[in-house]
């Protein structure tokens, strides 16, 4: 039960054998947050309206990274994503920007890692584009919100509020 | 002062012109944390000793990702890293694993993003290899600890304890 | 009717959801042209015969680029190409070299972009290998000649002669 | 004089030896055009204002492709770009969109190919995002406008108007 | 019978058309060997036990390279690997280290090249990590041990002992 | 003396710190051999003359792989190659094809791995293109012939004949 599936019985890392698994429709949603100072928050917020669309660039970066996931995470299988999108929510109260990445595939394994990678790279891109304003930004609360499909079925994160 | 340097005066994203900057020795240190349940923590801890070296795989993934940084973050310049390493600290008290990535270059821009990307992908790899034990793991506290070199000089994060 | 399918209702770029589409056999043919001076035309023509096979290198580059298409075009889905080839025609009358790229897949979306990317990179490679002879070469007339398969069915470009 | 520099004396393709060349500041500007129907032109034009920023996505794609140039064009040297930007001009009169890509480096060879690749992928991205409106779009007039630096010095395209 | 399948009737390289082939379960096993001096052999052997896990890094590199195979070998089709693992055997008698890579897919073509690429890059990684101890290491005996699935059926290398 | 330089004192893999090393001109030559049956040898030999240029494709693949070396070998530094070429020799007596890859750079570390990777991928490409004729081909004798430049100076393999 408490075994790491990515290692064989000799402790060697392996790409898990999914050859006997059927192709099913799968979906995963991940999210994460970046917190900066007021200048960052303001610049990103204005940028989306009239100049310097930080979130637009970050969205493209996140989607492209989700597609690259299997090149980044060593034991991940390549999957053909059938859909990928990233939404951002601006939280004025604590100057944080939340990213939510939703990924779908029809395949033999799930797309949790694609969604998490998409979120991570989108947030790193925001950091990059705003770091002249605040080097102290922190990226966090990166987690899986939901997954559906596959043998292990549906997972839904219970309480988001106290990560 | 509060300008986004990655956009031109028309608000178009650009790779910042660093052609006039000199090549200097630069260094950056970033860190981040992943928190899982007791089963994850135990498996990773034992793995490093006798079987299933999760951290060894995560370290390789993080270093390779740091080298790939400019392919992931759209406006980042390619830099030839002169050094890259990742260390992990196991924090028994809250079942968290901390990753610290140190990157060096001799170049015209800094390696903050390389260090942050290295940390992020190392932590995502831990998530991937342990997600069979706990889908609720959270990655967070990803931030720049320190940078040296370049015109903007040295940055050192002041208080780590309350991110 | 006049909607851009790569954006959601909020105007955010998304990888279009094709999860409900069936896998069908699809094919696309694209072409393009590069025009140089007489020296370029002669060098390429002789090269294919006895030394310096410019078109051989360009063909390999184009095929490899077609496979990389989803890494280059942000909202493109990854597809497993079942066939890819590039043919060149030398047009003596205006010193132009025409490239035609044919791509097939069995998948949920079409391979128009793969064929167009294959043509583009093949022509760019010719430019690269001949630019010492003529920096003024022009690449043009890149267009889709034909596509088959998928819900939108067959497309055939009507009149090639007046692009 | 009329020799192809990318082949050795036996006609084998080689990456040209630039080991004895000094590092100089270099710049290149390339451009290209995509022509579609009125629906495409209108959608792109409106998109930049309020929803569906086609040009924003295309710009990111082009810049990322310029950085990838040496992976696409077989005999190109890797160069560390010090600057890269893409501008678009909307030409109402013929429903064409022009892309101009400017690239800089400090290196041993020029960045003509990077600029041309940046333009090509930016235009291909526009094609991709608008192809639901018009499959008949044509990409053309891709050429080098200007280069500076290096032993071969400055090149400036003489007459743009009659490509 | 004795035709090269990767060329069309004009002698042009093509990615072979597999669009009419069915998807079947396929497997391939390849192996190879690296021979170094006693210092290399000892360092690798001890490393796996207590410090400097050369084989752990080489295994990750080999698995990641197997996934990248279609980017490296020009006419290879992209395949979604359903499994990939690499085992190492230490041969004390001649200071050689043997790598065996096993790859599976469900697809239209076989995974021989993926297995061979996995082995090659794993052995190159060992070379890289040990080259400070012995630049004279030799990599060899890289061959296909077995393949199953597909129209050409099963292949099993007959006599390993005298390569 | 017998230490693995790619591990720190805790046994963790690291990209070796070369930040204090000067940039010097470096060169490396590697070679390897593939042996097939008579049909393979004949097909490759004829191919280079009139149709199906196996070696032309393999050369392009090898050069492109040499440029990708740092993406494949985890602890390798990225280097800007100033030259790369691959030559093939056909050995009629034992139906073997020899590949020799020569790489240059001006940098802080050597290009041995680039040359070895170039050779390996060139030979794998020959295997791929000829495997319909002979699945039993063996790749071997991959080794460094020579390196110059850098602190460790010149290395020259002494006796090629008995690998």
List of chain F residues whose C-beta atoms are within 8 Å of the C-beta of residue B85: 8, 12, 14-15
Q: In angstroms, rounded to a whole number, what is the distance separating the alpha carbons of residues A25 and F12?
A: 40
Q: What angle separates helix F54-67 from helix C54-67, to the nearest 10 degrees? A: 60
Tell whether domain E24-149 is in CATH 3.40.630.30: no
Residue to mutate among F16, F78, F109, with most B CBs inside 10 A, is F78
Which pLDDT score, from 0 to 100, does residue A160 have?
54
Considering only residues B142 and B49, tell me which one the structure prediction assigns the higher pLDDT: B142
| E13: contact with F, CB 8 A cutoff | yes
- Residue position matching structure tokens 């790409």: A15
DSSP A85-128: EEEEEEEGGGTEEEEEEEEEEEESS--HHHHHHHHHHHHHHHHH
**Closest by alpha carbon to B74, among A43, E132, A53, A76?**
A53
Is the model's pLDDT at C135 over the cut of 90?
yes
Highest mean pLDDT among A10-14, D111-115, F4-8: D111-115
Q: In angstroms, rounded to a whole number, what is the distance separating the alpha carbons of residues E75 and F79?
A: 27
Non-local CB neighbours of E76 within 8 Å, separated by 6+ positions: E15, E69, E70, E113, F128
CB distance C47–D4 less than 8 Å? yes
Q: Would you call F160 exposed, middle or buried from its count of C-beta atoms within 10 A (0-12, 13-18, 19+)?
A: exposed
- Residue position matching structure tokens 């070199």: B149
Which pLDDT score, from 0 to 100, does residue C6 have?
86
CB distance F6–E129 less than 8 Å? yes
Residue A109 has which token pair? Answer: 């394994």
- Give the closest-approach CA distance of B107 to chain A in angstroms: 17
Is C159 noted as a catalytic residue in this protein? Answer: no
Which pLDDT score, from 0 to 100, does residue E1 have?
38
CB distance B83–F13 less than 8 Å? no
Q: In angstroms, rounded to a whole number, what is the distance separating the alpha carbons of residues D98 and D89?
A: 5
Q: What is the mean pLDDT of chain E?
A: 92
Q: In angstroms, rounded to a whole number, what is the distance separating the alpha carbons of residues B102 and B30?
A: 7
The string of pLDDT tens digits covering residues D11-59 is 899 999 999 999 999 999 999 999 999 999 999 998 764 557 899 999 9
**Closest by alpha carbon to A120, among A101, A92, A97?**
A101
CB distance D107–F60 less than 8 Å? no
Q: In angstroms, rounded to a whole number, what is the distance separating the alpha carbons of residues E44 and E99?
A: 13
- Please tell me the number of Cα atoms within 13 Å of D21 on its side-chain side: 21
Window F:38-97, CB contacts with E under 8 Å: 39, 42-43, 47, 50-54, 57, 60-61, 64-65, 68, 71-76
Q: Looking at this predicted complex, what is its ipTM?
A: 0.95
| % helix, strand, coil for chain A, step of 5 | 35, 30, 35
CATH superfamily of A24-148: Molybdopterin cofactor biosynthesis C (MoaC) domain (3.30.70.640)
Three-state secondary structure call for residue E27? strand
Q: What residues does each domain of chain B span?
A: 34-149
Distances (CA, A) of C57 to B10, B88, D14, E13, F118: 40, 46, 10, 10, 16
pLDDT (mean) for D51-69: 93
Which pLDDT score, from 0 to 100, does residue A46 have?
85
> How many residues belong to chain F?
163
Residue to mutate among A48, A49, A57, A60, with most D CBs inside 10 A, is A60
Is the model's pLDDT at D120 over the cut of 80?
yes
Is the model's pLDDT at B162 over the cut of 50?
no
Question: A12-42: string of b/e by CB count within 10 Å (b at 16+)?
Answer: bbbbbbbeeeeeeebbbbbbbbbbbeebbbe
Which pLDDT score, from 0 to 100, does residue C47 have?
76
Which pLDDT score, from 0 to 100, does residue C151 have?
87
Paired residues of B26 in beta bridges: B105
Pairing of strands F138-148, E138-148: antiparallel
Which pLDDT score, from 0 to 100, does residue C40 have?
93
- Residue position matching structure tokens 């029809």: A106
CB distance E82–A14 less than 8 Å? no
The beta-strand segments (E) located in C36-74 are none
The string of pLDDT tens digits covering residues E85-100 is 999 999 999 999 999 9
- Please tell me the number of Cα atoms within 13 Å of B11 on its side-chain side: 18
Paired residues of D84 in beta bridges: B15, D103
Which pLDDT score, from 0 to 100, does residue D161 have?
53
The string of pLDDT tens digits covering residues E61-86 is 999 999 999 999 999 999 999 999 99
CATH architecture of structural domain C24-152: 2-Layer Sandwich (3.30)
Q: What is the CATH number that goes with domain B34-149?
A: 3.30.70.640
The string of pLDDT tens digits covering residues C10-54 is 889 999 999 999 999 999 999 999 999 999 999 999 876 455 799
Q: pLDDT band at residue C161, thresholds of 50, 70 and 90?
A: low
> How many residues belong to chain A?
163
Q: pLDDT band at residue A163, thresholds of 50, 70 and 90?
A: very low
pLDDT (mean) for F124-143: 96
């Amino acid at each position: 039960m408490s075994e790491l599936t990515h290692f064989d019985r000799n402790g060697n890392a392996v790409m898990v054998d999914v050859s006997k698994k059927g192709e099913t429709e799968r979906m995963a949603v991940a999210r994460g947050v970046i917190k900066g100072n007021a200048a960052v928050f303001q610049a990103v917020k204005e940028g989306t309206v009239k100049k310097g669309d930080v979130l637009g660039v970050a969205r493209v970066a996140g989607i492209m990274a989700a597609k690259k996931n299997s090149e980044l995470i060593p034991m991940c299988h390549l999957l053909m994503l059938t859909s990928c999108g990233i939404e951002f929510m601006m939280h004025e109260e604590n100057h944080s920007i939340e990213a939510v990445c939703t990924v779908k595939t029809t395949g033999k394994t799930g797309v949790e890692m694609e969604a998490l990678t998409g979120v991570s790279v989108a947030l790193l891109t925001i950091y990059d584009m705003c770091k002249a304003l605040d080097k102290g930004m922190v990226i966090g609360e990166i987690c899986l919100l939901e997954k559906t499909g596959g043998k292990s079925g549906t997972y839904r994160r219970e309480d988001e509020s106290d990560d």
